[in-house]
Amino acid sequence: MDFSFSSDQQLLKNSARGFLDEHVKPATVRLLWDDPRGESDTLWKEIAQLGWLGLSLPEAHGGSGLGMVETALLLEEMGRAAYPGPYWPTVLAATAIELAGAEAQKKRWLPAVATGDARATIAFLDTELDWRPEAAQTRAEKTGKGWTLSGRKRFVPWAHVADVLLVPAQTPDGLTLFLVDPRAAGLALEPVPVMDLATRLVDVTLDRAPVAADALLGGPGQAGPLLAALLRRGAVGAAAEMLGAARRCLDMAVGYAKVREQFGQPIGSFQAIRHKCAEMLLEAENSHSAVYYAAWALDAKAEDAELAASVAKAYVGDAARKVCGEAIQVHGGIGFTWEYDLHLYFKRAKALESMYGDGDYHREAILRRVAA
Amino acid sequence: MDFSFSSDQQLLKNSARGFLDEHVKPATVRLLWDDPRGESDTLWKEIAQLGWLGLSLPEAHGGSGLGMVETALLLEEMGRAAYPGPYWPTVLAATAIELAGAEAQKKRWLPAVATGDARATIAFLDTELDWRPEAAQTRAEKTGKGWTLSGRKRFVPWAHVADVLLVPAQTPDGLTLFLVDPRAAGLALEPVPVMDLATRLVDVTLDRAPVAADALLGGPGQAGPLLAALLRRGAVGAAAEMLGAARRCLDMAVGYAKVREQFGQPIGSFQAIRHKCAEMLLEAENSHSAVYYAAWALDAKAEDAELAASVAKAYVGDAARKVCGEAIQVHGGIGFTWEYDLHLYFKRAKALESMYGDGDYHREAILRRVAA
Amino acid sequence: MDLNPTAEDRAFRTEVRRWLETNAATGDVKTLDERKAWHRKLYEAGYVGMLWPKEYGGWGRTPMQQAIVQDEMARLGAPPPINGLGIGFIGPTIIVHGTDWQKQRYLKKMLTAEEIWCQLYSEPNAGSDLASLKTRAEDQGDHFLVNGQKIWTSSGPIADWGILLARTDGKAAKHKGISCVLLHMRQPGVEVRPLRQITGSSLFSEVFMTNARAERRDLIGNLNQGWEIAQTTLGWERGANSLGRVTRYAVAFNQLVRATKELRRGGKPLLEDAAVRARLGKAYAELEVQRYAALRVLSALQNSDSPGAASSITKLSYTEFEKRYFELALEILGPYGQLVSAREEFEDIDTSSGEPGTWATAFLWSRAGTIYSGSSEIQKNIIGERVLGLPKEVRADRLKA
Amino acid sequence: MDLNPTAEDRAFRTEVRRWLETNAATGDVKTLDERKAWHRKLYEAGYVGMLWPKEYGGWGRTPMQQAIVQDEMARLGAPPPINGLGIGFIGPTIIVHGTDWQKQRYLKKMLTAEEIWCQLYSEPNAGSDLASLKTRAEDQGDHFLVNGQKIWTSSGPIADWGILLARTDGKAAKHKGISCVLLHMRQPGVEVRPLRQITGSSLFSEVFMTNARAERRDLIGNLNQGWEIAQTTLGWERGANSLGRVTRYAVAFNQLVRATKELRRGGKPLLEDAAVRARLGKAYAELEVQRYAALRVLSALQNSDSPGAASSITKLSYTEFEKRYFELALEILGPYGQLVSAREEFEDIDTSSGEPGTWATAFLWSRAGTIYSGSSEIQKNIIGERVLGLPKEVRADRLKA
């Protein structure tokens, strides 16, 4: 039993930190706020070269075959940098293709993702505010040549830069997952500006959008369990990113409390501030335990892996919001300014809190498991 | 518009404080813990003489015709003293009789309550943990001479000393309220010891208990709205008592923080303690606003009176629990000892929190009103 | 104890409501000129400067009536008057401590918003610890030479005048060497740079003073009496916004309820979900308690019980509530709560900060409430020390003194 | 990173479970003799003194194995061993700082519970500020004459020996004049008075020492080295209870779920109420996080990373969780949660404090957790200063020094 990172893992974490500190500075993030795509192709190619995009994909398809723990390490660092881009949606969609795709689909997409030549995303949420996969309302109708999809998918992360969308839709056989070309006829993409300008969400309207017969990912009617698994995996990744954002806010708050003086002493010497910082650290440390337990459990296929994923998302969502919010309070006025970088992480944590299943969704998922 | 107490009200409050400080000292409360009745007949007679029992009853029936604001003033002081006895159940039951009773019933009970010759209580809660009056499961069946009642009423305050129980029961006409002699055949009373040893709760089992035909309070099937109104009134009274308990805990905490020294200075000069005390005061002040607004609204029949009652109970329940709990924390170890009096008030507030509708009940009641 | 409004206040409310319904919706109120025109209209109707004595152009109304006006404006979403800081704080300071010349020169133009005022108090290194401010005002006989930097200045870019706290005696103890003087903002030595908040807008500014000139005749009170003046006269708008604020919360609540009717989960509207209901019920209880507390403050003001340090409780209470409240709203609304441009009716709300926007704006603004005008930590210090009488903190600056 | 238990630990757990299932339920464990007998049985099975070196009668096990034993005992509700303070803290202190004579004389009898030990540290006026203790031990050559009062002493009435902190140099700075000495409790100068807690039971005592005698040979370490000794050797049971504690929470959770199935509201079991579900789900998430955190602590101990000041985070985390947890339980259970004698199965729970009882007992006990062994305030100070490296507080006793 060992809860510490292996030296390889620690190395990965350090190198990610080093890379992001240099290539994803707050100034970089700010520059991309005004970019219509919101991400940098150069950066994308660089992280592909670092092997991050293929990190968890099978070696046979150009990946490194590493696990969720390593992915979480990267995501924590990305959260710490408020990294702007479709990393996690793409990797998660690639995992879906790996898990359920036909060999041809894997060949088409996985190496392309690993090399940075393709971006992808999953359209989890329908018009309703309901994260249960079975709540999808988008419908697929069979045609002579394949299917047509109609419905509205909301808040799809980074759909505007994706080369392929994974769209769940109801068919007579049940919930089915389709690979959809976002540039195809019948699709309309509308960006949805949210608080975190480095998080790009897109509403995707499908109006009898035609998809080919071979665009099914997995069998008809079989998308439910797959989507639930992806949502859990997505949740753990989001929790890792929120943890990173919280760590950054904590570090900034502690650093500020050491040097900012009021009433002739550093504010960190006042109990009000020092105790707040201690509570923030407690939340960050517990979040660390939650994220990496859940990530390990997914890799190890532990019997409580599903529970742990929901625990991580529910706990870290609350914890990160608290830590990042308190960091503003510790800073006082300066922490409320646009020029100071704190809000990058505060907003990122908040944005992720409501993605991949919000707290309500995961708390209910927990209870369904433990109070049968 | 005047939120301050009139000079009469202030006088009443002062004299109640004075009386209780002298006659209901913590030592008095402790003595009664071991008493099977749990209350003092002498004390009962004294408060009758002070006019407290008839305070809100009509002058025609031996009362003073004052309102809920004055009653709340007394109850706040009683909470502050952790007063042990059936004051509030009795007055509330008398109010029920005043509101719905036939003239003969009023004559029988109201003057007796005012003079301290009778005690009464209402059996709100059935076996279920459901405060809605309509949830009552006790059934009344018509017989030749009257009715028989069967069911189990739980957590009935001070039923063991009551001269009359008000028992809601389902009849073919709907929910009906009965005046029941607790010493009658078919009734079994079982004391239920709870955390606050000065709060006496009793389970009342009715096994085909016969009651006379004229024992109905109000018409058959008409008890629902009356009980709802009594529950609200009960809730405001309980909120006043919790406010008093919280004030006492706050006073003790502040007093202690001023004199207790650690690390060479009074602990109240540490921000951790002083900020806690400030938050406690905030909760106490807000609770004051909530209690007296609600009490006034009942007296004035304001259009938001029902809302305000639920607001007061829901808010003050949380606030008093918090204030009393934090008072223990401010005190440290000494606050956790049996000999120190803090737990009298801590436990009283906690006991009242779940009576007359708990937080969940009143929050739902609020929402039903404001989100129709 | 009688919480019914007086017949007079009831009539006044009807009158205000009628006036606002007739006058509020006419024309845009966006440009500075439009805002000044709207202010002027409000002033002429008697709804600005309500607590000012009539001799200075005010209306001699009660705090309750002032609160009623703000409440009705909140109910209607009417645009606020301009120059709030001037009329609420700076004017009263001049009335109490100013010379006759100052009163003549400044008060009427302030009331009518002919001249806009700002406050030059906080500095980058003097926030909570305002008395450690470093901006210097050198006595040059007929004027002061001002050098330094201020921050968190509202209305900076549109201000004609500012009330300045600056150090006039560098050798005195920190509270003793500060003076209060009026500064003309339209002079070469004064540079105003907008300061953007995390909401993306810029309601505050930084103000840089380089050899700026403040006239001797604009000194308020005596030399080195500034701290005392700043501490004692900040009270004329107390309770003004107390009812309006809660009404704004209530308007937002109704929008939140509407949202929970439209958004669905588990095949039914969110509003039918007991977990959502319980949280909404709790929030509404807290909201109502804020309303009762506001009435209590107004009642105390009416009875001439100055709330004094107890107003720290009010400020702590509503700012912390507001934080919890919008946090809850965003939790319930999920991604819908994060939009920065509204698409549906329930997404477009009045943030009670003066800045209209979406739930996201309100949520972000709520983080400022516990920081500005004395942070929650400062309020708790004040409550602990001045209301509860707890012993003073052991503090580095006190040891030196 | 691999959170699977090792094959060895898995086997050990099976062995412990089997042993406990066979041995735990046999006979009452209430009287002191019965408790000593049960302790002895546990010891002989290798489940007491697990981290002690074999040369002193211990078993040389790992912290993980120790935690497994406690976890399995929690799962079964097995009675705990007696003399926990002795074996956890006092014995290790003697092993590290004691003389050979002391080790010979005390250790074995401590392990076997032949002699029960208590700790004489806190005083009425020295709680958080332990170093300000006033109990005096006057050096009389071959012995010390002890006068003073101690408080919060566990196992006081049954203790044969105590480890005492007392002032041996009244003129030195407060941390420098304290010595650590073993005190025989069965002597006329030592009076033990049980101290009742708000739960109604008396797990603590006050201890009055009037010209009590402590032998010179029972001095631990050097004269006036007591503070240092008390600070450095309190670490041998770290993590021992970490898993068992969470298991106890989980057992209570199952009882709470059972209660919400039996209690009804709105015509259906509470467990079907979304508002109750959301709160239970949140509580369980927190509970699980406590479990993950416990594994992390055990892993660190295994890797010989002493958690040091970080153990303040653990203590703060679980005690504050426990408070929220039982508060939630009582909120859900309403009056059923307030009973002081159980009537239904779900009302009778293991309070994780060593005192079995009802939900009310657990709720009350949870208020003690954030006070004893360094209050939450003290833990936050330690975390702020020693983990985060925040600057030291300005504090009166430091100014004097």
| Boundary residue ending a domain (B199, B219, B239) | B219
CA-CA-CA-CA torsion for B275, B276, B279, B284, nearest 10 degrees?
A: -130
Q: Closest partner residue to D338 among B129, B194, B325, by Cβ?
A: B194
Would you call C251 an interface residue with chain A, using a CB distance cutoff of 8 Å? no
Taking residues C332-357, what's their average pLDDT? 82
Q: Which residue of A has its CA nearest to C373?
A: A333
Chain C residues inside the 8 Å CB shell of A193: 339-341
Q: What are phi and psi of A283, to 5 degrees?
A: -65, -40
CB atoms closer than 10 angstroms to residue C54: 10
Residue D311 has which token pair? 């153990």
Q: In chain D, what residues touch B270 (CB-CB under 8 Å)? A: 377
Instruction: Tell me, yes or no, whether A239 and A327 share the same domain.
Output: yes
Residue-level pLDDT at C355: 72
Give A206→chain D minimum CA distance, Å: 34
Residue C118's SS3 state is strand
pLDDT in tens, C124-147: 999 999 999 999 999 999 999 999
Q: Which of B262, B271, B276, B277 to mutate to test the interface with A (most CBs of A within 10 A)?
A: B271
Inter-chain touch A272–B271, beta carbons under 8 Å: yes
Cβ within 8 Å of A, C 271-300: 275-276
Average pLDDT over residues D294-304: 90
Q: Which two tokens stand for residue A287?
A: 């979040």
Together in a domain, B167 and B188: yes
Mean pLDDT for C212-235 is 89
Residue D396 with chain C: CB contacts under 8 Å = 394
Q: Could you name the CATH architecture of D241-387?
A: Up-down Bundle (1.20)
Burial class (CB in 10 A: 0-12, 13-18, 19+), A94: buried
The rounded distance, in Å, linking the Cα atoms of B340 and B342 is: 6
Write down which chains contact chain D via at least 3 CB pairs under 8 A: A, B, C
Q: Mutate one of A203, A269, A324, A337 to test the C interface: name it (highest C CB count within 10 A).
A: A337
Give the pairing type, strands D190-195 and A174-180. unpaired
Has residue C354 got a pLDDT over 90? no
- Residues from chain C that touch B279, judged by Cβ atoms under 8 A, are 380
Give C391 to chain D, closest Cα distance, Å: 13
pLDDT number for residue C115: 98
Note the pLDDT tens digit of each residue in A144-189: 999 999 999 999 999 999 999 999 999 999 999 999 999 999 999 9
Q: Report yes or no on B303 lying in a domain.
A: yes
Range list of β-strands (E), chain A: 120-122, 139-142, 146-157, 164-171, 174-180, 187-192, 201-212, 216-217, 261-262, 265-266
CA distance C287 to C301: 21
Least CB-CB distance to C396: which of D275, D394, D396?
D394
**C152-179 pLDDT tens trace:** 999 999 999 999 999 999 999 999 999 9
- Find the DSSP H helices in A188-304: 223-259, 271-300
Residue A259's domain is classified under what CATH number? 1.20.140.10
Nearest by CB to residue C371, choosing from A192, A263, A336, is A336
> Has residue B322 been placed in a domain?
yes
Using an 8 Å CB-CB cutoff, list chain C residues near B3: 1, 3, 295-296, 298-300
Q: Is the pLDDT of residue A320 over 80?
A: yes
Instruction: Read off φ and ψ for residue A369, nearest 5 degrees.
Output: -80, -35
- Residue D216 CA to residue D144 CA, distance in Å, equals 7
Residues of chain C in contact with residue A332, where contact means CB-CB under 8 angstroms, are: 127-128, 371, 375
**pLDDT of D234 strictly over 80:** no
- Can you tell me which residue has the tokens 């489940």? D47
* CA atoms of B157 and B238, how far apart (whole Å): 12
How many other β-carbons are positioned within 10 Å of the β-carbon of residue A8? Answer: 10
Residues ≥6 apart with Cβ < 8 Å to D54? D60
Contacting residues of B for A275, CB less than 8 Å apart: 271-272
Q: What integer pLDDT is reported at residue D307 of this predicted model?
A: 67
D390:A292 CB<8 A: no
Query: B333 to chain A nearest CA, in Å?
Result: 21
**C15 counts as catalytic:** no
Per residue in A41-96, pLDDT tens?
A: 999 999 999 999 999 999 999 999 999 999 999 999 999 999 999 999 999 999 99
Q: Do A355 and C335 touch (CB under 8 A)?
A: yes
Same domain for A21 and A109, yes or no, is yes
Which residues, 6 or more positions from A86, have their beta carbon under 8 angstroms from its beta carbon? A39, A119, A120, A121, A157, A158, A161, A162, A200
Same domain, B359 and B228: yes
CATH of range C7-82; options 2.60.40.420, 1.10.540.10, 2.40.50.140, 1.10.357.10: 1.10.540.10
C219: which 2 tokens? 């000194």
Nearest by CB to C371, from A269, A329, A342: name it. Answer: A329
- Both A85 and A137 in one domain: the answer is no
Are residues A132 and A112 part of one domain? no
Write the single-letter amino acid at C158: I
Residues A286 and D320 sit within 8 Å (Cβ to Cβ): no
For residue C380, which residues of chain A lie inside 8 Å, CB to CB?
272
- A341's CB contacts (< 8 A; 6+ apart) are A26, A252
Say if residues D393 and A269 touch (Cβ distance below 8 Å): yes
Is the pLDDT at C233 greater than 70? The verdict is no
Report if residue B179 sits inside a domain. yes
Domains of chain B: total: 3
pLDDT of residue D236: 60
Q: Is residue A281 part of a domain?
A: yes
**Alpha-carbon gap, residue D376 to B272, rounded angstroms:** 10
Give the residue from D338, D314, D315 showing the smallest Cα distance to D326: D338
Looking at every residue in chain A, the average pLDDT score rounds to: 97
| Residues B27 and B112 placed together within one structural domain of the fold | yes
CATH number for the domain harbouring residue B81: 1.10.540.10
Residue C57, pLDDT score: 95
Cβ–Cβ contact D399 with C under 8 A: yes
Domain shared by B236 and B191, yes or no: no
The reply to whether C117-223 and C241-387 are identical in fold is no
Smallest Cα distance from A214 to chain C, Å: 31
What is the largest distance, in Å, between two alpha-carbon atoms of chain C?
77
CA–CA dist B141, B178 (Å, integer): 12
Residue span of the structural domain in which A249 resides: 224-370
Tokens at A53, concatenated: 């995009």
Element (H, E) at C142: none
Q: How confident is the model at residue C347 (pLDDT cuts 50, 70, 90)?
A: confident
Give CA–CA dist B253/B277, Å, rounded: 7
> Confidence class of residue C353 from pLDDT cuts 50, 70 and 90?
low
Quick one: pLDDT at residue C304? 76
Q: Is C342 touching A (CB cutoff 8 A)?
A: no
| Residue A44 near residue A38, CB atoms below 8 Å | no
Q: What are the phi and psi torsion angles at B260 (to 5°)?
A: -70, 125
Tell me if D360 and B195 make a contact (CB, 8 A cut-off): yes
DSSP C285-315: HHHHHHHHHHHHHHHHHHTT---GGGHHHHH
Give the CATH number of domain D117-223. 2.40.110.10
pLDDT digits (tens, 9 = 90+) for B271-323: 999 999 999 999 999 999 999 999 999 999 999 999 999 999 999 999 999 99
pLDDT at C352: 63
The length of chain D is: 401
Interface test with A, best of D65, D273, D288 (most A CBs within 10 A): D288
Does a structural domain hold residue A88? Answer: yes
Write out residues in chain B with pLDDT < 70, as ranges: none
> d(Cα D120, Cα D162) in Å, to the nearest integer?
6
Look at the alpha carbons of A108, A111, A116, A121 in this order and tell me if their dihedral is positive or negative: positive
Q: Is B107 on the interface with A (CB under 8 A)?
A: no
Best residue in D394, D397, D399 to probe C by mutation, most C CBs within 10 Å? D394
The domain boundary residue, chosen from B117, B149, B174: B117
The mean of the pLDDT values for chain D is: 93
Report DSSP letters for D271-306, one per residue. Answer: GG-HHHHHHHHHHHHHHHHHHHHHHHHHHHHHTT--
Overall average pLDDT of the C379-398 stretch: 94
Same domain, yes or no: A104 and A130: no
pLDDT confidence of residue D233 = 58
Residue B181 lies in a domain: yes
What is the spatial distance between Cα D71 and Cα D248, in angstroms, rounded to a whole number? Answer: 8
User: How far apart are the C-alpha atoms of A140 and A174, rounded to whole Å?
Assistant: 10
* Chains in contact with A via at least 3 Cβ–Cβ pairs below 8 Å: B, C, D
Query: What are the boundaries of each domain within chain D?
Result: 7-82, 117-223, 241-387
Nearest chain B residue (CA) to C292: B289
Q: Which uninterrupted H or E stretch holds C77?
A: none
Give residue for tokens 């950054």.
A248
Residue D235 forms contact with A (CB below 8 Å)? no
C72, C115, C123, C237: the catalytic one is C237
Cα–Cα distances (Å) from B266 to A103, A296, C379, D259, in that order, read: 73, 49, 20, 45
The CATH number for B140's domain is: 2.40.110.10
Question: Is the alpha carbon torsion for A302, A304, A310, A314 positive or negative?
Answer: negative
The answer, yes or no, to whether residue A3 has pLDDT greater than 90, is yes
Of A58, A97, A259, A272, the closest CA to residue A179 belongs to A97
**Backbone phi, psi, residue A143, to 5°:** -125, -175
Token readout for C279 is: 């949280």
Encode burial over D79-92: b for 16+ CB neighbours within 10 A, e otherwise.
bbbbbbbbbbbbbb
Band (pLDDT 50/70/90 cuts) for residue C234 is low
Among A33, A201, A204, A336, the residue to mutate for chain C (most C Cβ within 10 A): A336
Which C-chain residues 44-103 have CB contacts (< 8 A) with chain A?
none
Q: Does C274 touch chain D (CB under 8 A)?
A: yes
Cβ count near A137 (within 10 Å): 15
Place of tokens 């005022």: C117
Specify whether B92 is located in the same domain as B130. Answer: no
| Contact state of A354 with C340 under an 8 Å Cβ cutoff | no
Q: Per the domain annotation, does A65 fall within a domain?
A: yes
Q: Output the pTM of the full model.
A: 0.97
Q: Do A185 and A164 share a structural domain? A: yes
Residue of C nearest to D277 (CA): C275
Asked if residue B346 lies in contact with residue D197, where contact means CB atoms within 8 angstroms, the answer is no
Q: Which residues of D are part of the catalytic machinery?
A: 237
Neighbours, chain B (3 or more CB pairs < 8 A): A, C, D
From B96, B117, B138, give the residue that closes a domain: B117
Determine whether the interchain pair A275/B272 forms a contact, defined as Cβ–Cβ distance below 8 Å.
Answer: yes
**Token pair of B216, please?**
């109905």
B230 & B365 share domain: yes
Distance from CA of D193 to the nearest CA of A (A): 36
Q: Measured between CB atoms, does C125 come within 8 Å of chain A?
A: yes
User: Cβ atoms within 10 A of the Cβ of A13, count?
Assistant: 17
* Residue ranges of E strands in B19-163: 120-122, 139-142, 146-157
Which pLDDT tens digit goes with each residue over C244-299? 999 999 999 999 999 999 999 988 999 999 999 999 999 999 999 999 999 999 99
ipTM of the complex: 0.96
Is residue A2 domain-resident? no
* B270 at interface of A, judged by CB pairs closer than 8 A: yes
DSSP string for residues in D113-176: TSS-EEEE--BTTBSTTGGG---EEEE-SSEEEEEEEEEEEETGGG-SEEEEEEES-TTS-TTT
Q: Please report the pLDDT score of residue D304 as a whole number.
A: 76
Yes or no: say if C378 and C370 are a contact pair by the CB < 8 Å rule.
no
Distance from the C329 Cα atom to the nearest Cα atom in chain B, whole angstroms: 15
The C-alpha atoms of residue A68 and residue A293 are separated, in whole angstroms, by 10
